[in-house]
Amino acid sequence: MPRQTLTGTVCVGVHSPDALVRAGLVSSLQNDPRVQEVPPERLHEADVVVAVFDTVDAAALDQLRPVSDNSDTRFLLVAGRQWQADLSVAIDRGVRAVLWRDAFTPPAFIRTLVTIADGGGSLPPTLQGTLMEQVRWTHSEVLTPHGLTASGVSLRELDVLRLVAEGKELSEIAIGLRYSERTVKYTLYGLMKRLQLRNRAHAVSYAIRAGLI
């Protein structure tokens, strides 16, 4: 479940095996009241953990696992420009932003930390492009051929939801989509059961809030 928007001071943990690098990052936090450092032994309490890598690859992402015992930890990676990791895996591990080390500035650092703590993310343009290409490929090569979408709602379910939102009865939906009325009914109520939606109005409300229709 997404975290609520944070207010007040952002608690930041810094993880780096290089003591000088860590000291430099910590010093960048000390003059801004919006952020506060969390000691290394309390990284699990941090809203955002900063991790430093020269090269971000699968091995680097594996190192994030023991950094914090909180599975909801959100990471900001300060990295060299050697990115060799799968972005989707990085995001799954909690990475929400990346700053290139050679473009690092304290204002950008603080701004990114606040963005992450507020539920956002930030990637350099090159990584944004890579992520968009991964999403496009996943949709076209994996999801669409199987009638699926990234939301976990099938294309058939989306079609039914759109027509329900237009006020159509099940019989009208069946005619419009050229399904049997039983198929429409099973599609709609299967979706409602899977997502624990109470009724049709709740299903439509969920679809609108999720940006599905």
Amino acid of residue 134 = Q
Within a domain: residue 81? Answer: yes
The whole domain housing 55 covers 10-124
**If the chain, 213 residues long, is cut into consecutive pieces of 10 residues, what is the mean pLDDT of each piece?**
56 91 92 90 90 93 80 90 90 94 93 94 92 81 72 84 92 92 92 89 88 83
Half-sphere exposure of 82 (CA within 13 A, CB side): 8
d(C-alpha 157, C-alpha 162), whole Å? 9
**Tell me, what's the pLDDT at 4?**
41
User: Taking the model in full, what pTM does it have?
Assistant: 0.69
18, 87: one domain? yes
Contact between 37 and 55 under an 8 Å Cβ cutoff? The reply is: no
14 with 92, same domain: the answer is yes
| Number of separate domains in the chain | 2
CATH assignment of the domain containing 81: 3.40.50.2300
For the record, the structure tokens of 94 come out as 């909690």
* Amino acid sitting at position 14: V
CA dist., res. 49 & res. 11, Å (int): 9
Q: What is the pLDDT of residue 34?
A: 93
Residues 100 and 165 occupy one common structural domain: no
| 14, 106: one domain | yes
